[in-house]
Structure 1
Amino acid sequence: MRIACIHQGYELYGSDRSFAESVEALRSGYPDAEIEVVLPRSGPIVDLLTPHATRIVFEPLWVLRRKAFLRLLTVDAARLPLAVLRAARRLAGFDLVYVNTSVIVDYALAARFYPGKAIFHIHEIPEGLALKVLGGLFGWSHSELIFNSNATSRTFGDPKSIPTHVIYNGVEGPAAPEPVTYDGSRPLRVLMLGRINRIKGQEVLLDAITGMDPAMRSRLQVRIVGSAFESDEPERELQRRIDTLGLGERVDLQPFDADPSDHYRWADIVVIPSRRPESLGRVAIEAMAWGRPPVASAIGGLTEVVEDGKTGWTVPPGNVDALRRRLETIIADPRPLGEMAIAGRRRYENLFSKHAVAERITAAVAANLARRRRRPAASLSDERRGRAP
């Protein structure tokens, strides 16, 4: 059994951790398999993958990124044929190719000629032109799709002509949640984790804090943890905004941390004020695993993670006043935190724990292999030769 696992990242953000957990699930389900992992470069994710991969190789991938869209269609277009050829060779040589995220274009193009061999695990909710391009790619490839939420599935239209699944991301949480200690006698500790960009909504949280009266603002402490992608300018800009708003005593900006455990232990609640749709919301899941009720934007897959008023709260995306009022209510009456922490942990264990999700991923792979074994001999012969039947 030969399985190739393809990922466009190399850090330890949400999609990177989800990929590592999928590779671990495949190793658990197929302990004797040869598992080759393909990354664009080395990085922190390698340490998570090494125990489960037979080997890790680094090679260029043709990845659709919004900021580099024009460059991809012009200067980088010359690289695409070679990238597709590399993808085709791997598809020809492996029993299954698992591709994490929808934006790896070379594998989507090559998969058309190897029916059934590729499974794309989609973790994004693209918009506008990106959605049209990616939707067209999957219409072309006829690849099997795993969506990480119903919101993601609805975005792509859940094509009926190919096998699809909705499988939530599995998250490795602590063995037990941390105790709830906030009772209003000290400042409320508010944590925000995530990349620094306008999508994640760091400025929404800052504006909500700024809108509080000074007495209420003095009753909270905020920690924002994260870095920008391949540039530190957004971090410097965010720090300037904190200083300009006079929030230096209330808000502590810290760089990305590969192990956020200490941040969750410190926190009382976790805020996810995303401005654009999250495909699921890993930070909200981790918050519930740690017993830290999330306050999340009511958008995208976050509404499938957080049960408003039961395991946390949701607020309209980008609504500064709604977020401010929610924080003020928690400060004024922290009594619901204990019950929400218990309910959130229970929801995490039932739907989002690593072991629960691993079973679903390996079941999807087993079903894929069984379908292909039942395929007529002529079709299998065409597939081996790298031609669509």
Structure 2
Amino acid sequence: MDELNTCLRITCVHQGFELYGSDRCFVETVRTLRSAQPNAQIDVILPRNGPIVAALTPFANRVLVEPLWILRRKNLARLVTLDLLALPFAVLRAYRRLRASDLVYINTTVVADYLLASRLSPGRSIVHVHELPEGTVLKVLRALIRWSGANVVFNSHATERVYALPARATARVVYNGIAGPLEANAAAYDGSRPLRVLMLGRISGIKGQDVLVEALASLPEAVRRQIELRIVGSAFEDVGRERSLAARIDETGLSDHVSLQPFVSDPAPLYRWADVVTMPSQKPESLGRVAIEAMSYGVPPLVTAIGGLPEVVEDGKTGWVVPPGGPEPIAAALERMVADPSRWRDFGRAARARYESVFSEASAADGIAAMVRATLRASRPPGTPKVERSTRAIT
């Protein structure tokens, strides 16, 4: 791509501002773009300032905070009433960005203004699909992608199947690449101390923190005493959900075994602490970044067989895959882990090997770079004047 990278103008749009899994995936994609296009002008558009800005600053020329028209279920009533009046102006603002850019990378399908504007400036956009919606939401997002005409990157085969785009669409599956640690954890659990179980993620009914608590509560007291669980994360603008989860932990008598901790921007110490990481998701996960991160540390994941999670974990080899729908399968898996640690002593080593071969940063970078090349060759006429790189800043 050397012939292209001296004068590129790239805009990267993201709907978030924190440092949860989707946010870290976005940072890693921007880093990939910077590595592939070292002289490009890269602008990042965010809806708010937040923890993600510091992570983006080394790779972006500018991090800009601008209004975005984002499809969120929680604000749906407002979106289709008051905010609908602002949509034409949002699309016009996005169109101007598109026209001023050689490439626009749109992270997730919910950034509606940029997807709508992509139809008005064809051949410049890539949308990275991370969501696995259902019902009406799926129909709306699928229609939005088709309307946009953007090239599509799916983060899993499960996501690709759900959206079922027509064969003529330019699309490919690229697993999320994770910048893992240089060395994995040494296997440490032998049953002589409590099993350290970690759950990371935004507190919601989708993620299954409540089901995990019920699973632990259902175990015999002798087994519960052999498990230490840390649930780390915060509810997005929903303090009531966090309070409800904390109250349930107290009601079930698990306060001595379960700690509820707020979101942290650097989870590395938690992965170093854990023997097992769990994603007890009760609705489809498009892939499962936390499970991949755990594997990069040599920590086997316990996940539910839903969405893209079975693409990440090999049951009985790199971790455990159990049916969704209730606490019983999770409880049974935890009880087996405690009862016989020797049966899964090699899971961590196998998990690290699978991470390195399938989910490393290099693997994802190759896939993203291939889609970028295809998009640029179709969109960018020869002889475009060079853009000088500006000082990095947030405005």
TM-score by length of 1: 0.95
- Contact 1:120/1:145 (<8 A) preserved: yes
- Contact 2:108/2:130 (<8 A) preserved: yes
1:233 is displaced (CA, Å) by: 1.9
Tell me which of 282, 293, 296 is aligned to 2:289: 282
- Flag the 1:303–1:227 CA change in 2: closer, same or farther, 3 A: same
1:36 is displaced (CA, Å) by: 0.5
Equivalents in 2 of 1:337, 1:179: separation in Å?
13
Q: Which residue of 2 aligns with 1:33?
A: 40
Please state if 1:160 is matched with 2:141: no
Equivalents in 2 of 1:336, 1:269: separation in Å?
14
Tell me which of 326, 330, 347 is aligned to 1:323: 330
Tell me which of 71, 78, 81 is aligned to 2:78: 71
TM-score by length of 2: 0.93
- The residue type paired with residue 362 of structure 2 is H
- Contact 2:146/2:165 (<8 A) preserved: no
Larger helix fraction of residues:
1
The DSSP-based 3-state class of the residue aligned with 1:113 is coil
Please state if 1:46 is matched with 2:58: no
- The residue type paired with residue 306 of structure 1 is V
Q: How does 1:57-68 map to 2 (within 5 A)?
A: 57-68=64-75
Q: Structure 2, unaligned stretches of length 5 or more? A: 1-7, 383-395
Q: Which residue of 1 aligns with 2:88?
A: 81
Q: Structure 1, unaligned stretches of length 5 or more? A: 376-389
Q: Deviations over 1:219-251 (max 9, x none)?
A: 111110000112322111110110011110010
Bigger relative CO (Cα 8 Å, ≥ 6 apart): 2
1:143 is displaced (CA, Å) by: 1.0
- The residue type paired with residue 109 of structure 2 is S
- The residue type paired with residue 199 of structure 1 is I
Q: Deviations over 1:20-54 (max 9, x none)?
A: 00000000000000000000011000011000001
Equivalents in 1 of 2:162, 2:78: separation in Å?
26
**Farther-moved stretch of structure 1 (289-298 vs 157-166):** 157-166
Tell me which of 103, 119, 127 is aligned to 1:96: 103
Tell me which of 3, 16, 20 is aligned to 1:9: 16
Equivalents in 2 of 1:222, 1:232: separation in Å?
21
Equivalents in 2 of 1:374, 1:10: separation in Å?
34
The alignment-based identity, stated in percent, is 55
- Contact 2:298/2:349 (<8 A) preserved: yes
Equivalents in 2 of 1:371, 1:119: separation in Å?
12
Tell me which of 95, 117, 120 is aligned to 1:113: 120
- Contact 2:102/2:380 (<8 A) preserved: no
Equivalents in 2 of 1:121, 1:57: separation in Å?
20
Q: Which residue of 2 aligns with 1:300?
A: 307
- Contact 1:273/1:318 (<8 A) preserved: no
The DSSP-based 3-state class of the residue aligned with 2:23 is helix
Q: Which residue of 2 aligns with 1:209?
A: 216
- The residue type paired with residue 100 of structure 2 is G
1:12 is displaced (CA, Å) by: 0.2
Equivalents in 2 of 1:57, 1:159: separation in Å?
34
Q: Which residue of 2 aligns with 1:343?
A: 350
- Contact 1:198/1:275 (<8 A) preserved: yes
Q: Which residue of 2 aligns with 1:382?
A: none
Q: Which residue of 1 aligns with 2:371?
A: 364
- Contact 1:180/1:337 (<8 A) preserved: no
**RMSD over aligned Cα, in angstroms?**
1.4
1:190 is displaced (CA, Å) by: 0.7
Equivalents in 2 of 1:363, 1:228: separation in Å?
36
- Flag the 1:374–1:89 CA change in 2: closer, same or farther, 3 A: closer
Q: Which residue of 2 aligns with 1:238?
A: 245
Tell me which of 136, 148, 152 is aligned to 1:141: 148
Please state if 1:256 is matched with 2:263: yes
**Farther-moved stretch of structure 1 (364-373 vs 162-171):** 364-373
1:373 is displaced (CA, Å) by: 5.5
The DSSP-based 3-state class of the residue aligned with 1:165 is strand
The DSSP-based 3-state class of the residue aligned with 2:24 is helix
- The residue type paired with residue 217 of structure 2 is T
- Contact 2:151/2:170 (<8 A) preserved: yes
The DSSP-based 3-state class of the residue aligned with 2:235 is coil
